[in-house]
Structure 1
Amino acid sequence: MSETPDTTIDLPEPSELLAAHRGALADGRLTFQRCSACQNAWLPPRDRCPRCLADTWAWETASGRATVVSWVVYHRAYHPAFADRVPYNVVLVDLEEGPRMLSTVIGIDGGEGLAIDLPLQAEVGHEGEVPVARFRLAT
């Protein structure tokens, strides 16, 4: 007798910072943090600058413009939740404002057409009830 695979995706522990970031995404805005001391910009949200460890920072809203730094295309699902998505890409992008983030490029087949420095545009999608930033090829 075969069991039905568990397709539940583990989510990060809830926090006020994560709630603020997801709230902005739910409103259609991709936000990131910028350090008041050294001007470093980062994602995902955290309470201190990962460069200088200062705890003084502010939220900023990204334009959504980004470029591809690197990517991988998965042809095998390493988690049952992604089985119906293969092949799918995971992309490291540089947002125009500075932070890097991992995401996916939608609207393409696997990794078709991906290239380093390829311009992208962010849009908000959902994984279940959770808003997430995804990207499309910029037009």
Structure 2
Amino acid sequence: MQVSFACQYCQQKIEVKFTAEPVSVVCCANCNKNFTVMRPTIAEEILIDWKNEALFQKIRADKSQNSNSSLLALVIKVIELLTWRDKGNGQVEAIKEMRGWLIENEETPPLAELIQSDNKKRSHKRRDWR
């Protein structure tokens, strides 16, 4: 690709040939001023960028929809656990369900690790229900 422009100091025509590199440094032959020139983006490259962005947004929307469905299922399960008359451990089971969901669906590992370490600490404590 070849690009030409006029030197902003002396108006001399400067020509730049780009091969693979996106940036080139040229010197004006008339006044010895240096210019850094970026290769212009052509329409095909812009189209590829837009296609990639559209694909990224679609994947993100699909993931969001899956997360919303999963979250709705969690809410229903927690409500069931809290409202059913069982052995009296519905609240404990609801919390376990929520923790399990967070571990499976959390994108940031530190939260999942914190929940898992908290579970380990709690499992070592003995409770006396007398």
TM-score bin (small chain): under 0.3
> Larger helix proportion, structure 1 or 2?
2
Q: TM-score, normalised by structure 1?
A: 0.22
Report the structure number with the largest CA radius of gyration.
2
> Larger strand proportion, structure 1 or 2?
1
Q: TM-score, normalised by structure 2?
A: 0.23
